[in-house]
Structures are given as C-alpha cells and as structure tokens.
Amino acid sequence: MKTYTIEQQRKIARSVADPMRRELGWISNTTYEDLARRQCLHLTFKNDEPCGFLLHGPMSRKTTIYQLAISEPERWEYQATALVAELRKQAAAAGAASLALNVAADLAAVEFWPRVGARIVGTRIRSTRTNRLQLIMSIDLRTWPGYQAPRDQQPLSETQLGLLRFCGLERQFDHAYERAARAAMRTA
C-alpha cells in the first residue's frame, strides 16, 4: 500500500471533490491538510487512480462524518460502502458509540446511508438563503463487531432509568434506555 504525504492527500481529495462542488460544498485546503494530519482522511483508488475519499472528525464517543465523495458513478456504492465499513471498524475499536452525519435531503446519497446502517434522528434547514433541508443521521456502532466500550462507561441502574423516564429524558439517553430494554427482554 502506497503512502502519501499530507500535501498529496489534500491534492487527491481536492481532485475528486472539485468536479462535485455543487453537491459537496467547498472545503478549504487547510481543512483537508489538518484532517489528513490527524488521519481523518481516507482515500480510495481504482487501478491506482483516485476515485474517492471520506473525511471524518477525530475518534470520540460520537465520531462525525464530514464528507464522503466518490467520482465513479458505476462503482459509487461499492467504494462508499468500503470506506464506511473501514471507518466503522476503526471507530468501534476506538470505543465510539456512533457515527454522526448530515446529508442534504435532495442528494442521491440519502438512499445510500440507510443501507450502511444510518437512521434519521432529526432534520434542519441548512441555511435560510438556500432553504436546503438537511437530514441528521446516526450509525449505531454498539452492535458492530469489534466495538470496545469505554472502561468508564457503566450501565445505568433501574433506579436511574426510572428517574430518566419520570423526567421524560430517556430519549436523550436512548443508548442506555435501549440497552436496558434489551437486557429486560432477555431476562423476560
């Protein structure tokens, strides 16, 4: 596997993204370089030619996908799925519970994301100028093979869950709520 310098990674990502600027928006060279330096830029190739990339934030409890771009329409789904699968594997091993992303509702990519496990958790208008609807999506990694729960993460007790339900906050803590519900179903 060939390694690339930060500058080369930026140029490759830019060469893929520029023809799709209307759909993707614009990202500065500094951002590409910074994410490449942090190992948050993944490139994909076909016959040694760049055909796509995935930009994401640093590994954390909720890792954010900033951009996924594939230049070959006929191989788009295959290449995109491979990039997302690799990120899922890395994020799960790092203890991330989910991947978060925002997708413009008018893009064809809206149909792709549910096929890799994303679910819509909300919507918003991106800007008042364009009135472009954006779907807020999440991919749960806790059920992904290789997920390593952080050591400091303790399951909530039934008392704590009851208090959350009483206050109407269980949706804000849905990961704990779902985990407890699954455990209760197994014991029933």
The superfamily (CATH) of domain 6-153 is Gcn5-related N-acetyltransferase (GNAT) (3.40.630.30)
- What is the domain partition of the chain in residue ranges? 6-153, 154-188
For the beta carbon of residue 113, count every other beta carbon within 10 angstroms.
22
Q: What is the pLDDT of residues 118-138, one digit of tens each?
A: 888 888 887 677 777 888 899
Q: Report the Cα 119 to chain-centroid distance in Å.
A: 11
Phi-psi region of 104 (alpha: psi -120 to 50; beta: other; left: phi over 0): beta
Reported as a pLDDT band with limits 50, 70 and 90, residue 177 is: very low
Please answer whether residues 78 and 52 qualify as being in contact, where contact means their C-beta atoms are separated by less than 8 angstroms: no
What's residue 117's pLDDT?
87
What's residue 99's pLDDT?
92
DSSP 154: -
Q: What is the C-alpha to C-alpha distance for residues 166 and 182, in angstroms, rounded to an integer?
A: 20
Q: What is the C-alpha to C-alpha distance for residues 118 and 138, in angstroms, rounded to an integer?
A: 5
Report the candidate in 2, 119, 98, 12 with the shortest Cα–Cα distance to residue 55.
Answer: 12
